[in-house]
Amino acid sequence: MKKTFVTYEEIKEIVKEYPTPFHLYDEKGIRENAERLKQAFSWNRGYKEYFAVKATPNPFLINILREYGCGCDCSSMTELMLSEAIGVKGHDIMFSSNDTPVEEFRKAAELGAIINLDDITHVEVVEKTLGQLPKTMSCRYNPGGVFEISNGIMDNPGDAKYGMTDEQITEAFRMMKAKGVEEFGIHAFLASNTVTNDYYPMLARVLFELAVKLKKETGVHIGFINLSGGVGIPYRPEQEPNDIFAIGEGVRKVYEEVLVPEGMGDVAIYTEMGRFMMGPYGCLVTTAINEKHTHKEYIGVDACAVNLMRPAMYGAYHHITVMGKEDQPCDHKYDVTGSLCENNDKFAIDRMLPRIDMGDILVLHDTGAHGFSMGYNYNGKLKSAEVLLKQDGSTQLIRRAETPKDYFATFDCFDILKDMKY
């Protein structure tokens, strides 16, 4: 059974202060997980997690992770600006983007970020844009084909727009070495949301073997290998969570086996996790406001896909707890919907839940990553607040909810809205 990190008694108090819907984050859970990750990779001297800012771009939450040595993985101008604003700079920023506009390369270089190239043509683009290449550069690799992890989990890198082929990354390293680059990194993201301890070790083997080959063929010094994101979380109650210690140990074994004998025992391991760092430590709190009995039983809540897009976008499962009814039998079958004029605006379809009454508080689990951040404004819906549940049980507003004024802000330059009261 999946449990909420907030109790019914606590949530009843919290909703008095913050109107639903809002995303709530669990400081204690974030800290304990970050500490475990740090321990799991403590065998590697240069280890660093670059938190994938896109997953949860909230400065308060990122600042918690920084206490555990995390940097920022950015992929756009505003993500770079956010990092800059909170004082993250230099090699504490990994700039892993694709289809990159040159201004973003310029900004990344200005901040001293490590630039991770998605394509071989960018070697020249970056050189032209900056005048010369930075001393440290990284490239993203895509082996193509199908990447199969032991227990039937697989993904399809051959179909993904990211990264360079074998030949291209070799050529890119040669070119960059000739142009004065001294320190090289390799990056790859081959599978997403992998709920298995085998993904990182398997990916590590692919990248470590590539690193050995690249070193031999091009003579470059490989400073780091970036395993990127993709470590998953158990969205479904029957799923077994990943064991980060087993993952760290699995990567260590491959490191000892492949890199150390080649005299590459100084290579730093980097990760760029988003989901694993934050996913389970956030939830969407919403209230049941309508019920409808037609061809199906519907419960309408005050949140919608604007607040959490994953179910509408990928049919993703998010567990739902009806607060205060945790022990009641799940003997009602509901579609739990938002109010968008889109029939895919459903948080759950044919979900067995306890009987829901109007005013019940529903908690949608595991919205801490790729939740709030995927928000949009369809139907003129506004983005919600974000609230931090602190370790001492108190709460802090870490992002206010949007108001109509925010929605109309981009018309501010037009006279038509001059006298509008919003």
Ligand X SMILES: *Cc1c(COP(=O)(O)O)cnc(C)c1O
**Binding footprint of ligand X on the chain (CB under 6 A):** 52, 54-55, 73, 75, 96, 189, 192, 228-231, 272-276, 369
Tell me the residue number closest to ligand X, measured at CB. 229
Pick the closer one to ligand X by CB: 246 or 289.
246
Please identify, using beta-carbon distances, which residue of 18 and 141 lies nearer to ligand X. 141
- Closest distance of CB 39 from ligand X, Å: 19
CB of 84 to ligand X, least distance (A): 19
CB of 315 to ligand X, least distance (A): 17
Exposed/middle/buried for 8, CB within 10 Å: 0-12, 13-18, 19+?
middle
Which tokens go with 70? 């995390």
Least CB distance from residue 149 to ligand X, whole Å? Answer: 14
DSSP 171-231: HHHHHHHHTT--EEEEE----SSB-STTHHHHHHHHHHHHHHHHHHHH-PPEEEEE--S-B
Q: Which is nearer to ligand X, 56 or 321 (CB)?
A: 56
> Could you tell me where the DSSP H helices lie in 228-334?
244-254, 275-278, 310-314
Using the minimum distance from each CB to ligand X, give the nearer residue, 200 or 334.
200
- Residue 55 or 299 with smaller CB distance to ligand X: 55
Do the beta carbons of residue 374 and residue 367 sit within 8 Å?
Answer: no
Q: Tell me the closest approach of the beta carbon of residue 141 to ligand X, in angstroms.
A: 12
Smallest distance from the beta carbon of 80 to ligand X, in angstroms? 14
Name the nearest CA neighbour of 173 among 132, 127, 215, 207: 215
Cα(165)–Cα(95) distance, integer angstroms = 20
- Cα–Cα distance list, 24 to 277, 282, 319, 364, 367 (Å): 15, 5, 15, 10, 9
Of 192 and 391, which has the nearer Cβ to ligand X?
Answer: 192
Shortest distance (Å) from residue 396 CB to ligand X: 24
Distance CA 350, CA 52 (A): 33
Terminus-to-terminus CA distance in the chain, angstroms?
A: 44
Q: How many CA atoms lie within 13 A of 398 on its CB side?
A: 24
* Rounded least distance, CB 278 to ligand X, Å: 8
Q: Which is nearer to ligand X, 230 or 338 (CB)?
A: 230
For residue 415, count CB atoms less than 10 angstroms from its CB and return exposed for 0-12, middle for 13-18, buried for 19 or more.
exposed
Nearer to ligand X, 274 or 338 (CB): 274
Structure tokens at 272: 């760029």
